């Protein structure tokens, strides 16, 4: 292994400092987030935002996704 190879742990430590400051998260929010959640936040593949959800749409989503 070369010395300049970055490890997962080194990247996690770096991101643990950058992401909470950038997103306004507490450190625990970073550690509780999955890699997929963090990637989704920074993804540029999302369509442009449309109209906000209605209350009934939000209730439907919350009922469908009860496990969070």
Report how far residue 41's alpha carbon sits from residue 35's, in angstroms, rounded to the nearest whole number.
10
- The answer to whether the beta carbons of residues 25 and 16 sit under 8 Å apart is no
| pLDDT per position as a tens digit, 16-48 | 788 888 888 887 888 898 888 888 888 777 566
Instruction: Judge whether 60 lies within some domain.
Output: no
Q: Which two tokens stand for residue 45?
A: 């593949």
Instruction: Judge whether 28 lies within some domain.
Output: yes
Number of domains in the chain: 1
For residue 18, give every residue at least 6 positions away whose Cβ sits within 8 Å of its Cβ, in sequence order, or none. none
Instruction: Judge whether 8 lies within some domain.
Output: yes
Q: Which two tokens stand for residue 39?
A: 């990637």
Instruction: Judge whether 50 lies within some domain.
Output: no
Instruction: Judge whether 52 lies within some domain.
Output: no
Q: Is the pTM of this model over 0.75?
A: no
Instruction: Judge whether 7 lies within some domain.
Output: yes
| 3-class secondary structure, 43 | coil
| pLDDT per position as a tens digit, 1-14 | 455 567 888 887 88
Q: Which two tokens stand for residue 49?
A: 């935002």
Longest dimension (CA), the chain: 55
Instruction: Judge whether 51 lies within some domain.
Output: no
Which structural domain range is residue 7 located in? 1-44
């Amino acid at each position: 292994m070369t010395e300049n190879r970055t490890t997962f742990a080194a990247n996690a430590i770096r991101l643990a400092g950058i992401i909470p400051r950038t997103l306004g998260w507490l450190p625990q929010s970073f550690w509780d987030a999955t890699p997929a959640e963090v990637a989704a936040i920074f993804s540029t593949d999302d369509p442009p935002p449309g109209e906000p959800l209605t209350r009934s749409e939000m209730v439907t989503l919350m009922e469908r996704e009860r496990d969070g």
